[in-house]
Structure 1
Amino acid sequence: MNHLLELNSVTKNYWKTEGDSHRPFLFENITTIITSPQRVVLLGKSGQGKSTLLRTIGLMEEFDQGEIKYKGNSSKSQDAREWRMNIAYVSQHPVMLPGTIEYNLKTVSRLHDKPFEEKYAKSLMVQLGLQHLSWDKQAKDLSGGEKQRVALIRSLLLRPTILLLDEVTASLDQQSKEYVEGLLLKLHKEEDISFILITHDTQQAKSIGERIWLMEDGKLSIDTDARSFFDVSMDEVFK
């Protein structure tokens, strides 16, 4: 059986080790499987390598040992561009390309030589509360929260199977955060999109996660369903 995503003993060494004499790796032996579309929340204190793990899964960074597979195919035998179309990474600090909102949204079409899904893009803009923005507006003039949501839409236009979301609601106001959460839940339910979301928001983890990954001391120490995880107090996780 080909699983949706497999991580087998994935290890990432520190590029500098003198600052951490007791542990030469950022994380090691990360092994887990996502068999079908799922909502995964990745938790852990700062410095555990959560963001690096997401970027590693998205082939934005190299890893030192182990293997990552998507639908049975190893990342080592895949074209990186094709991989990133299926497994899309969205940063906490989005980068807008010089030009308008429309120019940014059409990036996928230009890079991958595919038709621009204007209707889908407009629908996503509405669902994320951005319908008031003119597509002629310069992207550099958007607020931080607007840039974050436009970046998410830009990634969704890839039509990925898995979204890697690195604290994408951390800088959003409450309403905007709810727009994003609602869209993620809808995409999961209606389009079978999986996501792995890093958050330090306990309530968010409870409300949209169905599976919890917890990183501690460079290891994936807990991999369980969200209900079981939150049956016990995990306040220390979010410090």
Structure 2
Amino acid sequence: MSLLQLNKVSKYKFDEEKEWLFRDITADISPEDHIVLIGGSGQGKSTLLRIIARLERLDDGGICLEGKASKEWKPQSWRKKVSYVAQKPVMLTGSIKNNLRTVSLLHDRPFEEELARRYMEAVGLGQLDWGKNAVDLSGGEQQRLALIRSLMLNPDILLLDEITSSLDPGSKHAVEQLLLEWVSEASSPKAYLWITHDVEQARAISNQVWFMAEGCLLEKGETTAFFEHPNTKQAKQFMSGLQTEVVKHP
């Protein structure tokens, strides 16, 4: 059984009345899915993630979680299970520890300090003083702290919006490994949907690819098959452009 289903999800463009940003996106997220969402700029990838997280409204179609339509869920209950991590993290007022304890405070559950320390160590933040003001962290440190803050919620689905864009290669690899282990070793079904523009990262972290182009989800399928033999000319052109960028900026 899938964790989440998208049924013809559609969204209008923000600045043009009645013109679609994307339309009729239909797909499932199932346990242990490692999905990368790729496509050119302006396709609405981040908007789609925010709609799934119920941070923005859709204009047509529907979303089901665990077989129940989104309207049957209270927003707080939905967001316990589906957590969005933005590219540009927002730090809450106060210390690193205050940010890590957010889930406990919001949902009245014990703070798992040992788990938080293990996650911090895994992504290279083990040396930080938890009393430090979170807004004084570097961009890369904030990205990793925001991720761990969401992991402390123990959601079923993580929606990840270019969350390693400010990281050095070592830190990026550490985050990738943590999330792969988080999905595969969890005691309950987990999955993630991850936007990235890094083709090597996309290959390394996914078992499925969703490709957006021309206002729709043009392709979805197994990772190796997509990268070796895209089915559409749009995907082939997109992949050719990525490979050109890699040659220009090795």
Which of the residues 153, 156, 159 maps onto 1:158? 153
Who is 1:235 aligned against?
240
Alpha carbons 1:5, 1:69 under 8 Å: kept: yes
Tell me, yes or no, if structure 1 residue 3 matches structure 2 residue 8: no
Task: Please give the per-residue CA displacement for 1:4-29, whole angstroms capped at 9, x wherever unaligned.
Answer: 110000001123217xxxx8111110
Tell me, yes or no, if structure 1 residue 136 matches structure 2 residue 141: no
Flag as ranges the 4+ runs of structure 1 deviating above 4 A.
none
- 2:242 and 2:28 mapped to 1: Cα distance? 23
Who is 1:213 aligned against?
210
Which of the residues 29, 32, 35 maps onto 2:27? 32
Amino acid at match of 1:15: F
Question: How much does 1:236 deviate?
Answer: 3.2
Unpaired segments of 5 or more residues in structure 1?
none
Which of the residues 198, 208, 222 maps onto 1:201? 198
> What is the correspondence of 1:14-163 to structure 2 with a 5 Å cutoff?
14-17=13-16, 24-163=19-158
- Count of matched residue pairs: 234
Question: How much does 1:165 deviate?
Answer: 0.1
Task: Please give the per-residue CA displacement for 1:98-135, whole angstroms capped at 9, x wherever unaligned.
Answer: 10000111111111111111111011001011010010
Amino acid at match of 2:122: Q
Q: TM-score, normalising length from structure 1?
A: 0.94
- 1:214 and 1:6 mapped to 2: Cα distance? 17
Unpaired segments of 5 or more residues in structure 2?
230-235, 246-250
- 1:3 and 1:237 mapped to 2: Cα distance? 31
1:158 counterpart SS class: coil
Alpha carbons 1:87, 1:161 under 8 Å: kept: yes
Task: Please give the per-residue CA displacement for 1:42-79, whole angstroms capped at 9, x wherever unaligned.
Answer: 00000000000000000010001111011101111101
1:230 counterpart SS class: helix
Alpha carbons 1:44, 1:237 under 8 Å: kept: no
Q: TM-score, normalising length from structure 2?
A: 0.90
Alpha carbons 1:128, 1:149 under 8 Å: kept: yes
- 2:28 and 2:86 mapped to 1: Cα distance? 23
Alpha carbons 1:167, 1:199 under 8 Å: kept: yes
Alpha carbons 2:83, 2:159 under 8 Å: kept: yes
2:228 counterpart SS class: coil
Amino acid at match of 2:2: H
Question: How much does 1:237 deviate?
Answer: 6.0
Amino acid at match of 2:240: D
- 1:134 and 1:214 mapped to 2: Cα distance? 41
Who is 2:233 aligned against?
none
Question: How much does 1:36 deviate?
Answer: 2.6
Alpha carbons 2:199, 2:242 under 8 Å: kept: no
Task: Please give the per-residue CA displacement for 1:159-184, whole angstroms capped at 9, x wherever unaligned.
Answer: 00100000001111111100100001
Q: Percent identity?
A: 48
